[in-house]
Structure 1
Amino acid sequence: MKEIPSLFSLCVKTITWNLMHGFGQLQDLFELPSIFLDELLTVLPPLALQNIHELLDRSIGSTTKEASIVNRINIRRKRGRYNELNTAWEALYKKRWPGSTKKKQQSSCTMAYHGMKSHESTAPVIDWQQLYWERHLQDCLDAVTEQALLPAFDGNIAKLEIPDNIMSLIGHVGIGACSCSSLSYHCIKFGCYARYVRLHNVICHEEIFDLLRTSKLEALVFRRILSGNKVDEVCKLIKQNSLTLVSIELVYCRLSPSDVDMICSSVYSKEIHNHGIQYFSIKSSIIIGSNSSSIPNGLSFFLSSGRSLRSVCFADTHMGLKSTEAIIETLIQSSSLVNLELSGNELEGLLSKIGRRYTSLSPVPESNTYFQSLVELNLRGSNLHNNDMVGLQHMLVSMPKLLRLELSDNPIGDEGIRTLIPFFVKAFKETSQVSEIWLENCDISGAGVSELLQSLKKCQLKTLSFAENDLGSSVAAPLANFLGSSRIRNLNIEGIGLGSFGFQELERKMLEETALAHLNISKNRGGIEAAHFIYHIISKAPDIVSINAGSNLLPPESLSIIEDALRKSNGKLEQVDLTGNTSLCSPNTKSVISQFQFRGNPIIRLPSFCPSSSAYDDDP
């Protein structure tokens, strides 16, 4: 029997239809009882809720009854709390994008996209309406990009149709073609909410900056710009937003030096010789030939004239040593630079050359401290060897604010580690703030890591990763000692070859409590001993939040050991990742998962597929 609709649902359906088709009258709507109106706002689709906003905006300044309604609706915002409408937008955002519920500050999209942390004690009120339509518009741009890549595309960007599945998500369900489904409609209606936009080269037409003319863009990402007329469109869009733009990112691009000059020159306003760009990033792109001995003049001037430049990234850009050296020399005395990434480039020998200059200036006067504001240095995958660590050591001494050092995927070996140890020892005894060290896949042995752990025992280090180094079980005892004597919070020892004996030693030698919050012990072939260690670490780490024990050849009986550990935990544990352990997949696992939850989400993550009935071969 068909369910009879309630009176409330019928009223909502009628009001929604009126709002969606432009027949809503604000006075009629807000003459509804307050309790009805509050509930109505929680069930309206996005497009209907947006039309209420537009009706309210048009009524501001009026002396009619609507004016008092506007004040009543916004009174909570004036007091610094979320109002009814903002709460409704928050619910709609989280419903549509459940995997992206982390709150972003209203005016700091670049901070979120570049991983920069806010140190303010009080965050501003989040405008969920702005976040919703910004994300929606990006979904529309991504959808039409797929259409523009098809051979049948005729070059008219504005008339490209938004797919029905996206239209239905905002509450628009129509039959046949409709002007509301064109890209131009969405850009004109929602473009004013966009602060961050990501554009593929196929939609970098002259039309696009006309469609986004109402946007006040703070961050622009361009993908696959391959010289020619596309560069002109990129420059026009940057110039159009030069007063608000703080972030530019180029990904998978191939640009000539003159193209780079044009892009860098487009950030300047008339008669102003410095710019407001804070985040500049070029990734997986070719902008300077590997044989070039310099960088384009426009790029050099851009880097040196950025009074607010906080983050610079040249990742996997195929630059030669001379070009990279020129970039470092340009940035070296920057007083605002916080983040520098040169990962994925060929830097062998460069740090030694630059480091010798630091040696000649030692002791470095405080006024001449280079990279004095640098917080993060990322040199991942730059083919650095142990000889390069001598130069790096001299450079690190001149970085008093450095927090994060990323050296993963460089074959520095034990000798490279031993070269850096004196810096770590001296730094932690003095004023260094280094709290994160990343040394993954660096050809380090157990002996080298043992020496490093001994030097870091009494430091204030929060994060350490030496994953994917073949260390073996010999590192277990010094690691256990380090865990008990340091204040380490995040430790990644994935794939270091501990084996069952290494886990056994860790459990036996680890007698004191540890401050660990996040631990990754995956891919260590620990077997049942890995499960026993999980039990042990949960009892020794009262602040533990997550454990990754994936792909450890855990046998079926491991699950009961981990269950016992979770029953005795203090309730802070949010996740135990056991994926990749196919032996744990059984018909009973669902009941095990449902027993342990954190804020409604399962704590235990198990393999999503069942293994075949054939025996598992442990050989690599």
Structure 2
Amino acid sequence: MAAVGAKAVPPTLLSLCLQAVAAHLTADAAGAGRSGGRGAHFDGLVQEHEEEEEEEDGGHLAPEQVAEALPWELLHQLASSLPPFALELLHHGAHARCCSSTSLTDPDGNRRGTKRSRCEDFNTAWQALFEFRWPLHDNTGHDDLVTVDWQQRYWEKHLQECLDEAAEAALLPLFRGSIGELSMSDKIMSSVYLSENIAQQYSRLSYHWTILGSYARCLRFQNVLCTAEVCDMLQHSRLETLVFVRVISELEVNGVCLLLSCHAKTLLSLEFIHCQLYPAVMDKVCTSLRQPGSQNYKIQSFSIKSSRIDESKSLTTSAGLLNLLSYAKSLQLLSFNDVKMQPSFAKMIIHTLLESSSGLQTLDLSENNLAGWRSTVDRSSTSFSSALKSNTSLNSLTVLNLRGNNLQEGDMEYICNILAKMSNLRSLDISDNPITDEGIRYLIPFFELALQRGNPIRKLRAENCDLSSIGVTKLLECLTPIDKPLDMLSIADNHLGSSVAATLVKFLGSHVRELNVEDIGLGPLGFQILEKALPRKVNLSHINISKNRGGMGTAHFISRLILQASNLVSVDAGSNLLPPESLEVICNALKQTTCNLTRIDLMGNLQLSSAIFPAVFEFKKRGKPILLVPSQQGSCAPYDADP
């Protein structure tokens, strides 16, 4: 009854006025606020409103008038209640009034005609709109120290959604019309207008690009959008990143080249996914990237993924690509991931980079078939061998990814000759290559040389390389003396057995920060060795010991690690056959200290359950539970290590 009897707080005159202004701006943005249905074309906003003010009798309230009349506090309150297009209208009005007023000064040189010394900042309102529309959007790629332009991010993502929706419609077999004339769905329109009375022309794709295209920086294009018409729509954009998907036909290639030519001056990153980029096509693409009237390229990142770059039974290499690698002095990242690359092609790429003294920082040649590198080099001309013996180098390269290339132990001898040219290499990934212990032995001299130079490797991945405990022991003995922090080492998915534990525990006393020993067959004995010999001070931040079937020994090792690794942040210990009593052992350690620990993942251990040991919920960090445990016994799929 109290709720029924409670009186609603009556609106104030101020709130009613702000609501009326908001409704007016919203209707105006949707083209329904004035006779004739004229909407806001933002590029000519100021001029249009000034003309209307002269023609009308004063009944129309222009956005710049609103921005000038209201103090910042009320303007901010108004902005928080506006839909995106209305906020855009107000944003431009405030900017126009700010810019025009800077030229108005009194006889003493003081500014007049404005109460503000700077243009209003609506970034908070734009951020709220962005997070409301895309609440699950991942923002991890943005630096917290850099101010995000939420207005630009909002409209860029909006334009990408418009492109994706247009691509779906254009891919239909019966589609024969103009892409620019496609109307956006009610879902998209309602999210930016919040009005039922929207002029028809404002729903067209071309209209959105006409007024918002300048916000686009990073875009993804399906093949059907690679046309001259779409290129014309993007003429006012300053594109920095382009991603093309499923480009195959000659018509699509021509559209891509047209887009690249139009934006070569601003383009920094280019990526192709699921495309056919045979040498003739690659020549066209690389030529389109060239700066007008010169041999220079502005591109900084060039990536091809899950595509074909070689025609069958052809040894032809794109001259345009080699030219780009030779003259693109700004190129920092080069990636050929899963492109059916042959050893001869890889050799040519590295040879060109060596000869051109490239400033490349990251080279990704992963998921190709480079087996037989040794025989390919032996059969080739002496130019590549000469380059390896000369003073040429790739000193700028810091990251090399050779994962999943079917490299054999014999190939590693020549790979190491190439590595010797990379004196500043910090990260190396050779996972998923059956190089065996012999391949690792070839690598050890490189690690020792890097240590002598004072530039030791910082990240090494050697997962699933058919290594034994003998080869890994040699590797760990080589890496242990490094006095600089080793950021990460992963030797997961190699059947090493418990015999590697004695060397591994010594390595834990080094400066390693992240260690991945998932599924290496430690077993109860291996964990027992690790627990008993664990150094008093361990610098680890992250460790993955999953799928090692350690049983109770795993729990004792984790509890000891919690007490002796003050920098520990996370532990992955899933699928280790932990018994129920292991939770008490781990919790007892957590009662003594949690330090920086945020997560201990025990999922996949079928005998564990938070239902039978609710004390696991007592330990939290920033409101989230530290221990991740199955809710019920047997609720996780068992891990089966048998082949």
Secondary structure at the aligned position of 2:460 is classed as strand
Aligned residues of 2:549 and 2:577 also touching (Cα < 8 A): yes
**2:128 paired with 1:102:** no
Q: Deviations over 1:241-268 (max 9, x none)?
A: 1110011111100133222111111112
The residue identity in structure 2 corresponding to 1:505 is I
CA distance in 1, matches of 2:148, 2:80: 18
1:61 touches 1:67 (CA, 8 Å); kept in 2?
no
- Cα distance in 2 for partners of 1:72, 1:359 equals 60
| Alignment CA distance shift 1:580-1:89 (3 Å) | farther
* Corresponding residue for residue 88 of structure 1: 125
Give secondary structure in 2 for the equivalent of 1:576.
strand
In the alignment, is residue 539 of structure 1 matched against residue 545 of structure 2? Answer: no
Partner residue in 1 for 2:412: 389
| Correspondences of 1:342-491 after superposition (within 5 Å) | 342-350=365-373, 368-459=391-482, 460=484, 461-484=486-509, 486-491=510-515
What amino acid sits opposite 2:372 in the alignment?
G
Secondary structure of 1:525's counterpart equals coil
Tell me whether 1:338 sits opposite 2:361 in the alignment: yes
Out of 30, 47, 52, the residue aligned to residue 85 of structure 2 is 47
Contact 1:285 1:317 in 2 (8 A): yes
Measure the CA separation in 2 of the matches of 1:527 and 1:180: 64
Q: Which residue of the partner structure matches residue 7 of structure 1?
A: 11
Which residue type is aligned with residue 415 of structure 1? E
Equivalent residue in structure 1 for 2:114, among 68, 73, 78:
68
Query: 1:475-529: CA deviations, max 9, x gaps?
Result: 2221111011x11111111222222332222212213211111222222233333
Query: Does 64-73 or 510-519 show the bigger shift?
Result: 64-73
The residue number in structure 1 matching 2:597 is 573
Q: Shift in Å at residue 417 of structure 1? A: 0.8
Which amino acid is the alignment partner of residue 22 of structure 2?
Answer: T
Per-residue deviation at 1:603? 3.6
Q: Could you tell me which runs of 5 or more consecutive residues in structure 2 were left unpaired when the two chains were aligned.
A: 29-60, 105-110
* Corresponding position of 1:140: 162
Asked if structure 1 preserves the Cα contact closer than 8 Å seen for 2:610 and 2:616, the reply is no
In structure 2, do the counterparts of structure 1 residues 124 and 98 end up closer, same or farther at CA, with 3 Å as the change threshold? same
Change (3 A) 1:166 1:488: farther
Q: Secondary structure at the match of 1:467?
A: coil
Distance, in Å, in 2 between the alignment partners of 1:69 and 1:589 is 64
The code of the aligned residue for 1:575 comes to R
Residue pair 2:64, 2:94 contacting (<8 A) in 1 also: yes
Aligned pair count reads: 590
- The TM-score with structure 1 as length reference comes to 0.85
Secondary structure (helix, strand or coil) at the match of 1:269 reads coil
| Distance (whole Å) between structure 2 residues aligned to residue 614 and residue 482 of structure 1 | 32
**Aligned counterparts, 1:193-212, within 5 A:** 193-212=215-234
SS in 1 for 2:554: helix
The code of the aligned residue for 1:260 comes to M
* Alpha-carbon separation, structure 1, partners of 2:594 and 2:112: 53
Counterpart AA for 2:309: I
Contact in 2 for aligned 1:26/1:66 (Cα 8 Å): no
Give 1:402's aligned amino acid: L
Q: Which residue of structure 2 lines up, in the alignment, with residue 28 of structure 1? A: 66
The residue type paired with residue 478 of structure 2 is: S
* 8 Å Cα contact 1:192/1:214 also seen in 2: yes
How far apart, CA to CA, are the structure 2 residues paired with 1:432 and 1:476? 28
Task: Let me know the Cα RMSD of the aligned residues.
Answer: 3.3
Letter in 2 for 1:48: A
Amino acid at match of 1:7: P
- Aligned partner of residue 329 in structure 2, secondary structure: coil
What are the residue-to-residue correspondences of 1:103-122 with 2, within 5 Å?
104=142
Deviates more, 1:326-335 or 1:410-419: 326-335
Partner-residue secondary structure (3-state), 1:71: coil
Q: List aligned pairs for 1:322-333, cutoff 5 A.
A: 322-333=344-355
Q: How far did residue 67 of structure 1 move? A: 6.9
Distance 1:195 1:362 in 2: 39
Retained in 2: the 8 A contact 1:224–1:253? yes
Instruction: Single out whichever of 9-18 and 350-359 deviates more from structure 2.
Output: 350-359
Deviation at 1:409, TM superposition (A): 0.6
Distance 1:264 1:215 in 2: 21
Q: What is the Cα deviation at residue 615 of structure 1?
A: 12
Structure with greater Cα Rg: 2
Letter of the aligned partner of 2:97 in structure 1?
Answer: S
Whichever residue aligns with residue 65 of structure 2, its letter is: Q
Q: Distance in 1 between matches of 2:369 and 2:635?
A: 48
CA distance in 2, matches of 1:98, 1:186: 24
Structure 1 gap ranges (5+)? 75-83, 106-121
CA distance in 2, matches of 1:16, 1:430: 65
Pairwise CA distance, 1:558:
3.8
CA distance in 1, matches of 2:263, 2:113: 34
1:411 to partner: Cα distance: 0.3
Distance in 1 (alpha carbons) for counterparts of 2:609 and 2:178? 52
TM-superposed CA distance for 1:348, in Å, is 2.0
Give, in whole Å, the separation in 2 of the partners of 1:148 and 1:192. 24
Deviation of 1:134 after TM superposition, in Å, equals 1.8
Q: Tell me: CA distance 1:493–1:140, structure 2 relative to 1, closer, same or farther (3 Å).
A: farther
